[in-house]
């Protein structure tokens, strides 16, 4: 989702909001597919993988080692993966990386991007201390509805098989607030115990009461994941009560919450990188 910071002209915001303003909850997916099919993915496309995620993956190997202690390659997942930038970057850093998008057009574009990038990786896939892929994993792209379960058999070999890492940047902010609890439930279903849900929280500068997408998310992630709320009723209270253990009834524990030194220009200075560990 692309949007200009507060105080500047909002043509992108206005176009996307207008596109979705009359669509029902059930019709959200077709709305995004329509934008892909009409060549409007530039409304949210960033053109490169997330600098904040790259830095986290490279600098926190204690959390993001792509291999288990017995040598198994871990699975990473990017829902609403767009053109596949973050999926490819995660694979180049050693994960078997899965991207999901509801659009057939989007998946086709991501597959073409990955087929080229995995062979001739651009430098924007790496941080300051790494310049090439070391033992890369594989990329997989799935055309499916995140909220349905019919695609899981394409990824998991058993009921106990889950993702080890999930990354969300502009997927939650694209969803109407009524879908937030379903988003949190699906994250808890798809991530294995002890797995890491990494969220680049955006947009935090936008008033949560204003229409979207993108919807303002200040306080939403913590409320949904750690507090166990609905991501609507207690927004803005999270920072004040986050250390109160009796209120942390969600399925995740927040282990990292930082303002990343590097992020995309339209969220730089306001984005927060949060990491939630599945209980």
Instruction: Specify if 40 maps to a domain.
Output: no
Instruction: Specify if 70 maps to a domain.
Output: yes
What is the per-residue pLDDT for 244? 52
Cis peptide before 203 (omega within 30 of 0): yes
Closest CA to 212 of 184, 174, 171: 174
Q: Could you tell me if 34 and 181 are in contact, meaning their C-beta atoms sit under 8 angstroms apart?
A: no
Residue 25 CB: number of other CB atoms within 10 A?
10
d(CA 258, CA 271): 9
Q: 273 forms bridges with which residues in the sheet? A: 200, 258
Tell me if residue 270 falls in helix, strand or coil: coil
Domain of residue 102, residue span: 46-278
Residue 99 CB: number of other CB atoms within 10 A?
29
Distance of CA 63 to the CA centre of its chain: 17
Give pTM, 2 decimals.
0.92
Q: pLDDT digit string (tens) for 96-119?
A: 999 999 999 999 999 999 999 999
Residue 269 has pLDDT above 60, yes or no: yes
Structure tokens at 220: 């939403």
Instruction: Specify if 23 maps to a domain.
Output: no
Instruction: Specify if 3 maps to a domain.
Output: no
Containing 67, the helix (H) or strand (E) segment is: none
Question: Could you give phi then psi for residue 163, rounded to 5 degrees?
Answer: -75, 150
Instruction: Specify if 5 maps to a domain.
Output: no
d(CA 72, CA 162): 13
191-229: b (≥16 Cβ within 10 Å) or e: bbeebbbbbbbbbbbbebeeebbbbbbbbbbbbbbbbeb
Residue given tokens 């994941």 in the structure block:
225
- If one counts the domains in the chain, the total is 1
Q: Could you tell me if 37 and 102 are in contact, meaning their C-beta atoms sit under 8 angstroms apart?
A: no
Instruction: Specify if 36 maps to a domain.
Output: no
Q: pLDDT digit string (tens) for 240-260?
A: 445 455 557 899 999 999 999
Sequence-ordered alpha helix ranges (H) in the chain: 11-20, 28-37, 51-59, 61-64, 85-92, 104-117, 180-190, 220-222, 238-241
Beta strands in the chain (DSSP E): 75-79, 96-101, 139-143, 163-168, 191-201, 252-258, 272-278
Confidence of residue 238 (pLDDT cuts 50, 70, 90): very low
d(CA 165, CA 278): 10
CATH number at 237 reads 3.40.50.150
Residue 11 has pLDDT above 90, yes or no: no
What is the per-residue pLDDT for 131? 66
Instruction: Specify if 21 maps to a domain.
Output: no
**Segment 112-127 mean pLDDT:** 96
Instruction: Specify if 26 maps to a domain.
Output: no
């Amino acid at each position: 989702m692309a949007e200009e910071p507060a105080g500047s002209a909002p043509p992108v915001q206005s176009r996307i909001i207008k596109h979705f303003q009359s669509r029902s909850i059930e019709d959200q997916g077709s709305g995004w597919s329509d934008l892909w099919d009409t060549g409007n993915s530039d409304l949210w496309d960033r053109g490169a993988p997330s600098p904040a995620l790259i830095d986290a993956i490279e600098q926190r190997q204690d959390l993001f080692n792509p291999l288990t202690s017995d040598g198994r390659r871990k699975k990473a997942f990017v829902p609403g993966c767009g053109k596949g930038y973050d999926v490819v970057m995660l694979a180049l850093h050693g994960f078997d990386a899965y991207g999901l998008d509801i659009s057939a057009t989007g998946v086709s574009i991501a597959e073409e991007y990955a087929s080229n990038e995995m062979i001739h990786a651009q430098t924007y896939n790496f941080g300051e201390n790494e310049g090439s892929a070391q033992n890369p994993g594989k990329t997989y792209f799935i055309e499916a509805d995140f909220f349905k379960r019919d695609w899981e058999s394409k990824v998991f070999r058993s009921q106990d098989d889950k993702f080890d890492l999930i990354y969300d940047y502009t997927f939650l902010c694209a969803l109407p607030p009524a879908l937030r609890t379903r988003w949190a439930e699906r994250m808890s279903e798809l991530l294995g115990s002890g797995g890491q849900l990494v969220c680049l929280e955006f947009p935090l500068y936008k008033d949560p009461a204003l229409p979207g997408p993108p919807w303002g998310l200040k306080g939403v992630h913590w409320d949904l994941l750690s507090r166990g709320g609905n991501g609507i009723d207690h927004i803005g209270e999270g920072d004040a009560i986050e250390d109160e253990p009796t209120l942390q009834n969600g399925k995740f524990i927040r282990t990292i919450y930082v303002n990343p030194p590097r992020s995309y220009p339209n969220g730089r200075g306001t984005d927060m990188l949060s990491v939630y560990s599945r209980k």
